[in-house]
Amino acid sequence: MAEMEQVEAAEADDTLFILTAALLTPAQFPAVLGDDYPEACAALGLGPHPVGYGLVFGQDGDGARWTVVVDDVSLVAVAIATWDCGMEYDLSPDEHTVVAALPGWPLELTVTAPGVPEPHDPPAGPDDPAPLAPPDTGAWGPAQRRLGADAVALQWAVWREQFDADNAGGDGETPRETARETAGTPVPGTAVAEETAAARETARAPVRETTAPSRETAGTPVRETTPAQEVPAARETAAPARETAGATTAAHLPVPPSGSEAPDGHARLRRVLDELRGYLVEPPPPGRVRSAFAPGGARTLRADGPGWSLVARTDDIAFVLLDDLPGEVLPVGRGPNLPGLLAALDQMAVRPA
């Protein structure tokens, strides 16, 4: 691996304005990048390090986009948590934690550094890697499907209430009793909040100055650096960014109108449930099944597979999104078998540290 050449910190275009950050770990990674942790790492040209990485997004003095990959996951996690609480945090990774400096951004960011040109990809030489770019979420596909599942997980109560309203029967039975493990009518997306999983994965951050990556070695992993390549604590803080990173908002997901039919939904859901049971026999790649906190002592499960995504609460029902049913959200009722399956998946799932 080539070493980064020395950068003169005094030059204006060597200032890196940190905009925001994200985690890339088995338990927490931008789902838009892949169905599992190794796939998300491969999208950035990284190996699936067991501990994971922190991703720091910024612009240099010329406005060029850069993604700095660091192995100090705890530092990035603390920064994100602090920003989520509305407080300032000076994210300044040490030079020895920098794994790679990659041109471009792998996520769609809506923040920019003040006082520099509009975001653009840095000039690339013939041997430089192609700049990172967000997956296309303009049309329904794997990236949009995963974003949709993350949106359901974030706004679980809204989707659950809509499910109850759509399945309330007139015979006195509860929606949970009438909605067994079969496909139901798609849940309309009329009341989904504007915030999406991608927006949560990249937290608000004040724009800060640090040392920009060397253009000559963009995209190459870093083994050693000189003092000029340090990422020092910022001495000046620019105006805070007012918007956070995000891709397609949940409100923009292509959801069909209430009452539309999914004639093959039952068979498709059975296939998904069978594949989930298969995960218990042969564990999938890390990150395919993830468990997160939920109110009331329950857990929120997110699982992905070829062509499908699932979001569930261990004390409740599940929802499934499919590549071949654009925009539809299929409920899986509690039934007699779902609780045991969710409990077993939660036992094998990776969890945030």
Pick from 74, 34, 23, 3: nearest CA to 288: 34
User: Is the pTM value of this prediction over 0.85?
Assistant: no
pLDDT top residue among 244 and 319? 319
- Stretch 257-271: mean pLDDT: 65
Percent of the chain with pLDDT over 70: 69
In this predicted structure, what is the pLDDT of residue 205? Answer: 52
- Stretch 322-343: mean pLDDT: 94
Q: Which residue has the tokens 């009722």?
A: 333
Residue 34: burial class (beta carbons within 10 Å; 0-12, 13-18, 19+): buried
In this predicted structure, what is the pLDDT of residue 213? Answer: 57
Helices vs. strands in the chain: H and E counts, helices first: 8, 11
232 within 8 A of 18, measured Cβ to Cβ: no
With cut-offs at 50, 70 and 90, classify the pLDDT of residue 242.
very low
Q: Mean pLDDT check: name the lowest of 93-107, 209-223, 248-262, 324-338.
A: 248-262
In this predicted structure, what is the pLDDT of residue 166? Answer: 82
247 within 8 A of 198, measured Cβ to Cβ: yes
- Stretch 192-219: mean pLDDT: 45
In this predicted structure, what is the pLDDT of residue 131? Answer: 95
Percent of the chain with pLDDT over 90: 58
With a cut of 60, say whether residue 2 has pLDDT above it.
no
